[in-house]
Amino acid sequence: NAGVTQTPKFRILKIGQSMTLQCAQDMNHNYMYWYRQDPGMGLKLIYYSVGAGITDKGEVPNGYNVSRSTTEYFPLRLELAAPSQTSVYFCASSYSGQQGNTQYFGPGTRLTVL
Amino acid sequence: AQTVTQSQPEMSVQEAETVTLSCTYDTSESDYYLFWYKQPPSRQMILVIRQEAYKQQNATENRFSVNFQKAAKSFSLKISDSQLGDAAMYFCAYRSEYIMNYGGSQGNLIFGKGTKLSVKP
């Protein structure tokens, strides 16, 4: 298993541009998450999904959108990028059952908005 | 709302010695999970150890062990025989069990701000 994969690894955007951060998992996890990590801070939840077709906002959703058409993929969309969205973005996944409380993380995407 | 506090922004340990990283949390729930994640310079988040709140026995994983004090809401990580490869940011995290059991739709992790561990040769 590849686990949780994310693309791209690095990206520089200009203010006002848009992009999609890709996330995929091959562990058949039904829960997926997007976090952002600002310098010197822990991770904060942006959006999450409990299954295909079901998504909801986390702690810091403004400026982002998500979709979950399949179990495997959970892309994060940035519309009208702003410097405040400069951060490292992590995707994670887990099962929902008794054994599902451990989240597995992707390698992260470092995004800079200039 | 639950919060997680790591009061040590940085720690240092000599190779082969033992170090303890502190973590406290605040919750009104009785059932939950606690985690320590390691983040090396590669930025990958790696699970180190987890503890179920209903278990009195402290979790251990090789050189890593925790001191879980439920009444005090404390969850410290002890690293024994420290190695150069242990140098990283360490994050303490909390997750509610209640949300999982009732099919709740969140179950996200609540993180502390992290402790940067340096290991001296």
Average pLDDT, chain A: 91
Q: What is the pLDDT of residues B74-90, one digit of tens each?
A: 999 999 999 999 999 99
Average pLDDT, chain B: 89
Whether residue A40 lies within 8 A of chain B, CB to CB, comes out as: yes
What are φ and ψ of residue A45, in 5° steps?
-80, 130
Taking an 8 Å cut-off on Cβ atoms, the answer to whether B43 and A88 are in contact is: yes
Q: Please report the pLDDT score of residue B31 as a whole number.
A: 84
Among partner residues A42, A56, A100, which is closest to B100 by beta-carbon distance? A100
Search chain A and give the residue with CA nearest B97: A101
Q: Is B84 helix (H, G, I), strand (E, B) or coil?
A: helix
Taking an 8 Å cut-off on Cβ atoms, the answer to whether B100 and A96 are in contact is: yes
Contacts for A89 with CB less than 8 Å, ≥ 6 apart = A6, A21, A34, A35, A36, A37, A46, A76, A108, A109, A111
Q: Is the dihedral of CA A31, B50, B88, A39 positive or negative?
A: positive
Average pLDDT over residues B14-37: 94
pLDDT band at B100 (very low <50, low <70, confident <90, very high): very low
Amino acid identity, residue B92?
C
Among partner residues A31, A42, A102, which is closest to B91 by beta-carbon distance? A42
Which of A52-66, A72-86, B74-88, B96-110 bottoms out in mean pLDDT, i.e. has the lowest? B96-110
pLDDT band at A100 (very low <50, low <70, confident <90, very high): low
CA distance A2 to A19: 24
CA distances from B101 to A39, A86, B98 (A): 34, 35, 5
Indicate if the pLDDT at residue B97 is higher than 50: yes
Higher pLDDT, B96 or A79: A79
Q: Count interface pairs A-B at CB distance under 8 A.
A: 66
Burial class (CB in 10 A: 0-12, 13-18, 19+), B76: middle
Q: Is B75 helix (H, G, I), strand (E, B) or coil?
A: strand
Peptide bond into A8 cis (omega under 30): yes
Alpha helices in A16-83 (DSSP H): none
pLDDT band at A106 (very low <50, low <70, confident <90, very high): very high
Indicate if the pLDDT at residue B72 is higher than 90: yes
Q: Please report the pLDDT score of residue A23 as a whole number.
A: 97
| CA contacts within 13 A on the Cβ side of A81 | 21
- CA B42 to chain A, closest CA, distance in angstroms equals 8
pLDDT band at B107 (very low <50, low <70, confident <90, very high): low
- CA B80 to chain A, closest CA, distance in angstroms equals 24
CA distances from A56 to A67, A82, B60 (A): 10, 22, 35
| CA contacts within 13 A on the Cβ side of A23 | 32
Burial class (CB in 10 A: 0-12, 13-18, 19+), A28: exposed
Higher pLDDT, B35 or A39: B35
Token representation of residue B55: 């278990």
**Residue pair A42/B91 in contact by the 8 Å Cβ criterion:** yes
pLDDT band at B102 (very low <50, low <70, confident <90, very high): very low
Biggest CA-to-CA distance, chain A: 43
Indicate if the pLDDT at residue A22 is higher than 90: yes
Among partner residues A90, A94, A110, which is closest to B45 by beta-carbon distance? A90
Search chain B and give the residue with CA nearest A45: B108
Q: Please report the pLDDT score of residue B96 as a whole number.
A: 80
